[in-house]
Structure 1
């Protein structure tokens, strides 16, 4: 996720980096769209009249700037020792989810997007390792009711480039490999590009079994329809033709842990007459004739899925498909950006799409900046989650300073957090992106990762509910 953000050669990103280094960069995102579509709790939405939580206060410890009244705790940092004694905390913290446990406990499941040259790999553990040469995987943290870490251990190992994923209705995490590398590539002994199920409370219950029927491609994120059990999947392909938006129809929908191993059918979305979603720029553009086409070879034995033959009508592609989540009766998915210079039909700095399965309707609900004000070069939304207030929390994956932004129902955007860990130099500063933003089951704590250096924070304060 980190190395696949906005290309540093683009005008908007270069401008943002220059502003950040001069100290002049603003902290707003410019966008337009029907933001009210994203919120399903009308009572919560009506309580969003206040605009954010105020300015960010510089952190004297140089880790995380937050609004006044908020505080953070570092739960875990790469290189520290895992409480289980299995080795060091792995690097490249990415997607994450929080689940309620027994006796008031919270289980966090955290991805590590390590490639074959991962700086701090996920330790190889018997019974939890898919490919001993894979450096990625997940770790699981257990917090007691007061928010203290009481356990931290490997949840799955031997996977590769674990970017995002998503929670299931039965409280497990689906971790996604963002790669198509086969056995023999980069030293791997097995094919990669799969989804794996992880139980944060009991990782050995799920083990390290690839859900092969869900496809082998550059996975990004998933969302599960809690009524039908259909799993929606995004593909973040790095080269043209770009990724597809998929759905998986399981043979045993909503069957609990292990049910996805029973297999099912993988399909890709076709919007008639729209080969590339970036060509659609009008907010509210609606398509009521969405089709789903069976994927010819989900395992991509010979040909990556996005290159496969979907018939004379073709299939619909989109650049940089990232976040995916379920809200109300619809699935929402994010295209972080599109650049015509890289093969897309048109340019944009981020879109959010809504698909309503009851109506088979696809709607473009938000388009991100850049704004005409150079202080507000909104770009590249990535991880997104629904906040307890009914609003959104957005991890921005662009150049320069890195923020978590909040978004109200009215479309007001405010800064929620800023990473202060400079991995560059004083003259050429660099800040790792945020990832994996999620909330505790009771809505009182926001958990979020900094990708580099891998750090997991717990943020508490006067959250509106």
Structure 2
């Protein structure tokens, strides 16, 4: 059994950063050294943030002075392909290079059976006609004008996040484990699907990557050297989700190669059944173990309930964002609440796993000094920013923001949603999701989940 030890890195410090957002302040408290998040990325550059957010007179999106947005697509609009309406519940997203400086933008729709506007059923790319989720794809020119918009996959369910492959395709993840006969579905759900943003039938239509597991998927990240795919599970009830790795039969094999299968394994941290127990940043665990999943298809029993032997397996609540940086994979536990069954409470953790050392490190802990009446808790989707830091989508209570986190540990508000989905007396705002940057890093694309809105944000980015 490995033991917890302190990293040899600089000691952790406590910071409280307040960034102005017009009349409302943003409170975030966290412990940790943010420089650990960016091994192998560009050096820190430029300023810490872009100044206070300026209220948007159109009531859609507050941004710093000098930045502007363009609404690319909104739920209920007509798809340019003529296939139907733009679906609801905009979630995970990625941007790929297109010809003549353009961008292919692919977007998940986290639709359940009661979706307001389902993804239209399209022949040849529909998995289950009763599934209301899927992906849509936008083609943009060099000025972020929309030149095309079509359904990329349909008939899936609760497409939450996912992640880009290393060969220009999108891996969309179903955040459900409903089986055929449940909620009217005609097929089992809970899979990953590979989607080509430009040629919907290139990969054989809607083909579930069954060897990658059937569970409540959230996000993926791929090791660019070994081709290992890391997967997070956002389970809604105890026992909570697991952190997985998939060892493909054809690592780095290009489009369609994941259909060849492979081995699915779950992470075991010896002596730690629940990651929420670990509260001290810099805590490291060596000799991380990977245990074969007994039944990846979860034919009888959901994976997190399965028997992993007398030593058990390691769980964590709300495993969400996942990305690769340098020589490590990073993943987010959005929060943990003891009242819901976690071993301890926190308002967000970011973990780093180094495959070459088999080492897991707790890099950042959000709260519990965060004032829950202010925004800033529950980090969700994340991506690397042009300045060498991170952009983080907030998924908590109250006002909703996209936050920037610099390598030096400064936190700033990059955007605030202004679309009120509540009432004038009790306002509420939809979470942000799917933050990503164009290949040339000149545009930040981000979704408002509800009402489903996709924005392109341009301005004086630090490069």
User: What TM-score, normalized by structure 2, do the two folds share?
Assistant: 0.93
CA contact (8 A) 1:78 1:120 kept: yes
Shifted more, 372-381 versus 132-141: the winner is 372-381
The Cα of 1:190 is off from its aligned counterpart by 0.2
Q: Is the aligned partner of 1:215 residue 2:217?
A: no
Partners of 2:216 and 2:42 in 1: how far apart? 38
Q: Tell me the alpha carbon deviations over residues 12-53 of structure 1, each in whole angstroms, 9 at most, x when there is no partner.
A: xxxxxxxxxxx97521322111210111356531x24x2210
CA contact (8 A) 2:375 2:400 kept: no
Distance 1:432 1:286, change over 3 A: same
What is aligned with 1:422? 420
What is aligned with 1:297? 295
Distance 1:198 1:348, change over 3 A: same
CA contact (8 A) 2:27 2:370 kept: no
Q: Is the aligned partner of 1:34 residue 2:38?
A: no
Partners of 1:98 and 1:29 in 2: how far apart? 29
Partners of 1:142 and 1:400 in 2: how far apart? 33
State how many pairs are aligned.
441
Q: Tell me the alpha carbon deviations over residues 443-463 of structure 1, each in whole angstroms, 9 at most, x when there is no partner.
A: 000000000000000000000
Q: Is the aligned partner of 1:383 residue 2:381?
A: yes
Q: Is the aligned partner of 1:99 residue 2:112?
A: no
Q: Secondary structure at the match of 1:203?
A: coil
Q: Secondary structure at the match of 1:44?
A: coil
Distance 1:416 1:295, change over 3 A: same
Partners of 2:98 and 2:376 in 1: how far apart? 37
The Cα of 1:105 is off from its aligned counterpart by 1.8
What is aligned with 1:118? 115
Partners of 1:274 and 1:379 in 2: how far apart? 24
The RMSD of aligned alpha carbons is 1.3
What is aligned with 1:456? 454
* Structure with a larger share of its residues in helix: 1
Runs of 4+ in 1 over 6 A off after TM superposition: 372-375
- 1:36-75 equivalence runs, <5 A: 36-40=35-39, 44-45=43-44, 47-48=45-46, 50-75=47-72
Partners of 2:147 and 2:31 in 1: how far apart? 43
- 1:425-436 equivalence runs, <5 A: 425-436=423-434
In structure 1, the gaps of 5 or more residues are 1-22
Partners of 1:44 and 1:426 in 2: how far apart? 44
Partners of 2:299 and 2:293 in 1: how far apart? 12
The Cα of 1:102 is off from its aligned counterpart by 2.1
CA contact (8 A) 1:24 1:375 kept: no
Partners of 1:237 and 1:376 in 2: how far apart? 26
CA contact (8 A) 1:118 1:135 kept: yes
CA contact (8 A) 1:424 1:430 kept: yes
CA contact (8 A) 1:225 1:331 kept: yes
CA contact (8 A) 1:28 1:414 kept: no
What is aligned with 1:276? 274
